[in-house]
């Protein structure tokens, strides 16, 4: 074994991390041990709350001490004890020999300082470089992370860069002093798929060139497969399994690992009813937001969020809408329900929706519903589950109070929750359970059509798969038509009969799912596919 021959660069032994003391102690990490060798990539994989980020932050001693503390454990970095080192010593190590890249690039960069200045800062702090030398080094670094064209933009503020470019800047800062260890905490989670692939390729390339160790924290098994040599699977503060990536993926030992591996959305949608009637038809749908300038607020142009999209959806079928952030896919979903004003005809169940007043459209609202992405924001925190779900019945005056209660219980059972939860509040539920509640709210009125706006992307992997399964069952049982909006091609693949690929408000490609996934014609579609499925192909 490798670690027996050489002393590992980073060695963590029986590390425990707790927040608070006494009664209120929360044991976030409960005794983990692992090593990261020189120039090695180790992935810490686990779902949210598993303690993986806390473990990684301990290595830099960046936890909110003294609220956070270590009941036991030792961390040795290049032979030095991290947990007992002086604050001065730690400062010297951080950013110089160990560096970190966080998930959210926009909040990790100071919005008031130019990117050039932020990269130079680490050079001044650790290397006491002269201004001219530092500038040369910054240019070199920007080239290194693939931001060559940004040389002229060194004086620009972070917000003028895109998310992917910001993450590149973050990586440049982390790499400025050629650290021995780079900790990447979900470095691509906040980015679009195509950018994600680029950033991962960049990290891998830089790691090979600079011979640095990489501790990668992620929830995405695809990334682990593509990037890591060894993997540690974490759940509830413990490492339940570790080993070489190929071994762990091929022969998972621990039940949790097996569950995690099975959790990736799989399968294909069942063919929808052949003789289904057309339920929804939109023609040349457009949502333009005016850009107003000047004293008199003259309209000088438009942001074309949705620009001439036509689509048809049959009862019992799913239309998947794919696109990266800002492509207008969520706006399209809202426009179809007339929650956002739009132009272009929308025919739902043989009735033209455009031009109907709020009162006229109200009876139709019963038949079309929406489920949102964020299960935390989509349920009113001050209402009980029963009231949240029953609100639709109340608004549409369906049945007596007792009948409503029965119907709510029925729907709760249908989405796999105990009807007993009727009088409880949203904060008592996990993300997956909340998403089930949101689905129950949409279902309670027995709609024909549901817009699902990224219903799985805020959820953990294993929960995601369950929700996909639930949606598929519900579709079969009730003949529901879905408009499924997502950036995740795997989920779309598992659910959609037809696919619409959106870019900058326009449909670049649309057609039956099989055809698009097997033979994508548009180059953009091909890039998307490559970014999403390539990792699997390489490892598989």
The distance of closest approach from Cβ of residue 137 to another protein in the complex, given in angstroms and rounded to an integer, is: 32
Which residue matches tokens 């009162």? 359
Bridge partners, 12 (sequence order)? 34, 75
Exposed / middle / buried, residue 403 (Cβ in 10 Å: 0-12, 13-18, 19+) = exposed
The residue (of 134 and 371) whose beta carbon lies closer to another protein is 371
SS3 content of the chain, % helix, strand, coil (to 5): 40, 25, 35
The distance of closest approach from Cβ of residue 22 to another protein in the complex, given in angstroms and rounded to an integer, is: 10
Among 383, 504, 530, 539, binds another protein (CB under 8 A): 383
Which residue matches tokens 């043989």? 350
Please report, as residue ranges, which positions from 385 to 404 form the binding site for another protein (by CB under 8 A): 388, 391-392, 395-396
Please report, as residue ranges, which positions from 67 to 86 form the binding site for another protein (by CB under 8 A): 67-68
Q: What is the DSSP string of 204-252?
A: HHHHHHHT-EEEEEES-HHHHHHH-SEEEEEETTEEEEEEEHHHHHHS-
Among 4, 64, 402, 477, binds another protein (CB under 8 A): 64
- Secondary structure of residue 74 in the 3-state scheme: strand
Contact flag: residue 368 with another protein (CB under 8 A): yes
**Looking at 3-11, 175-183, 416-424, 511-519, which segment touches another protein (CB under 8 A)?**
416-424
Contact flag: residue 299 with another protein (CB under 8 A): no
**Looking at 4-12, 18-26, 159-167, 347-355, which segment touches another protein (CB under 8 A)?**
18-26
Dihedral sign, Cα of residue 95, residue 101, residue 104, residue 109: positive
The distance of closest approach from Cβ of residue 467 to another protein in the complex, given in angstroms and rounded to an integer, is: 10
Please report, as residue ranges, which positions from 428 to 447 form the binding site for another protein (by CB under 8 A): 428-433, 438, 441, 445
Query: Rounded to the nearest 5 degrees, what angle is found at the Cα of 513, between the Cα atoms of 510 and 515?
Result: 80
Contact flag: residue 362 with another protein (CB under 8 A): yes
The distance of closest approach from Cβ of residue 374 to another protein in the complex, given in angstroms and rounded to an integer, is: 6
Residue 30 contacts residue 18 (beta carbons within 8 Å)? no
The residue (of 354 and 536) whose beta carbon lies closer to another protein is 354
* Token pair belonging to 153: 């933009």
**Residues 6 or more apart whose Cβ sits within 8 Å of residue 492:** 320, 322, 484, 486, 499, 513
**Looking at 1-9, 159-167, 425-433, 516-524, which segment touches another protein (CB under 8 A)?**
425-433
Closest to 335 (Cα-Cα) out of 472, 505, 492, 525: 505
Contact flag: residue 341 with another protein (CB under 8 A): no
- Secondary structure of residue 405 in the 3-state scheme: helix
Q: Total binding residues for another protein by CB under 8 A?
A: 68
The residue (of 47 and 324) whose beta carbon lies closer to another protein is 47
Give the whole-angstrom CA distance, residue 238 versus residue 221: 18
Query: Rounded to the nearest 5 degrees, what angle is found at the Cα of 471, between the Cα atoms of 391 and 519?
Result: 135
Among 101, 122, 195, 370, binds another protein (CB under 8 A): 370
Give the whole-angstrom CA distance, residue 502 versus residue 324: 8
Contact flag: residue 407 with another protein (CB under 8 A): no
**Looking at 63-71, 82-90, 299-307, 522-530, which segment touches another protein (CB under 8 A)?**
63-71
Query: 251: cis peptide before it, omega within 30°?
Result: no
The distance of closest approach from Cβ of residue 388 to another protein in the complex, given in angstroms and rounded to an integer, is: 8
Among 48, 162, 194, 527, binds another protein (CB under 8 A): 48
Per DSSP (E only), the strands in 236-293 are 238-244, 278-293
Please report, as residue ranges, which positions from 221 to 240 form the binding site for another protein (by CB under 8 A): 235-236
Give the whole-angstrom CA distance, residue 254 versus residue 441: 37
Residue 369 contacts residue 439 (beta carbons within 8 Å)? no
Among 24, 152, 295, 400, binds another protein (CB under 8 A): 24
The distance of closest approach from Cβ of residue 475 to another protein in the complex, given in angstroms and rounded to an integer, is: 19
Please report, as residue ranges, which positions from 135 to 164 form the binding site for another protein (by CB under 8 A): none
The distance of closest approach from Cβ of residue 129 to another protein in the complex, given in angstroms and rounded to an integer, is: 33
- Secondary structure of residue 531 in the 3-state scheme: helix
Among 9, 10, 15, 28, binds another protein (CB under 8 A): 28
**Looking at 199-207, 374-382, 475-483, 521-529, which segment touches another protein (CB under 8 A)?**
374-382
Contact set with another protein (CB under 8 A): 19-20, 23-28, 47-51, 53-54, 57, 63-64, 67-68, 235-236, 334, 337, 339, 358, 361-362, 365-366, 368-370, 372-374, 376-384, 388, 391-392, 395-396, 420, 423-425, 427-433, 438, 441, 445, 460, 462-463, 466
């Amino acid at each position: 074994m490798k670690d027996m021959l050489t002393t590992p660069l980073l060695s963590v032994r029986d590390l425990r991390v707790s927040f608070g003391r006494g009664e209120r102690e929360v044991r976030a990490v409960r005794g983990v041990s692992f090593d990261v060798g020189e120039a090695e990539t180790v992935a810490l994989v686990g779902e949210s709350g598993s303690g993986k980020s806390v473990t990684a932050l301990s290595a830099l001693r960046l936890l909110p001490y003294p609220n956070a503390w270590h009941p036991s454990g030792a961390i040795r970095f290049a032979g030095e004890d991290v947990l007992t080192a002086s604050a001065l010593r730690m400062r010297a190590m951080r950013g110089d020999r160990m560096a970190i890249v966080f998930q959210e690039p926009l909040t990790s960069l100071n919005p008031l300082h130019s990117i050039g200045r932020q990269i130079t800062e680490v050079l001044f702090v650790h290397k006491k470089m002269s201004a001219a030398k530092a500038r040369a080094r910054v240019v070199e670094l920007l080239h290194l992370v693939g931001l060559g064209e940004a040389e002229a933009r060194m004086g620009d503020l972070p917000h003028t860069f895109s998310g992917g470019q910001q993450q590149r800047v973050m990586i440049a800062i982390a790499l400025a002093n050629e650290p021995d260890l780079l900790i990447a905490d979900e470095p691509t989670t906040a980015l679009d798929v195509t950018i994600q692939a680029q950033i991962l390729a960049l990290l891998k390339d830089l790691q090979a060139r600079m011979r640095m160790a990489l501790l990668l924290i992620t929830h995405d098994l695809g990334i682990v497969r593509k990037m890591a040599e060894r993997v540690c699977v974490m759940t509830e503060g413990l490492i339940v399994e570790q080993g070489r990536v190929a071994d762990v993926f091929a022969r998972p030992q621990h039940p949790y690992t097996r569950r995690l591996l099975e959790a990736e959305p799989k399968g294909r949608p069942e063919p929808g009813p052949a003789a289904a009637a057309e339920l929804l038809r939109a023609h040349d749908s457009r949502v333009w937001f005016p850009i107003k300038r000047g004293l008199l607020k003259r309209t000088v142009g438009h942001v074309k969020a949705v620009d001439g999209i036509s689509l048809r959806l049959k009862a019992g079928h799913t239309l998947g809408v794919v696109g990266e952030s800002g492509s207008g896919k969520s706006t399209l979903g809202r426009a179809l329900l007339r929650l956002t004003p739009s132009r272009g005809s929308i025919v739902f169940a043989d009735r033209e929706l455009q031009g109907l007043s709020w009162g006229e459209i109200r009876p139709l609202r019963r038949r079309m519903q929406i489920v949102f992405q964020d299960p935390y924001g989509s349920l009113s925190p001050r209402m009980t589950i029963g009231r949240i779900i029953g609100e639709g019945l109340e608004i549409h005056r369906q049945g007596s109070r007792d009948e409503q209660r029965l119907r709510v219980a029925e729907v709760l059972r249908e989405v796999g929750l105990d009807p007993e939860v009727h009088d409880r509040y949203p904060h008592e539920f996990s993300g997956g359970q909340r998403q089930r509640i949101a689905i129950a709210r949409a279902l309670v009125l027995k709609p024909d059509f549901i817009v699902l706006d990224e219903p799985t992307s805020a959820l953990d992997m294993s929960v995601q798969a369950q929700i996909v399964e639930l949606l598929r069952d519900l579709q079969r049982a009730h003949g529901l038509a879905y408009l499924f909006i997502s950036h995740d091609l795997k989920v779309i693949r598992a659910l959609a009969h037809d696919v619409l690929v959106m870019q900058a408000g326009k449909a670049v490609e649309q057609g039956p799912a099989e055809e698009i996934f097997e033979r994508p014609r548009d180059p953009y579609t091909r890039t998307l596919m490559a970014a999403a499925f390539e990792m699997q192909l390489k490892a598989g």
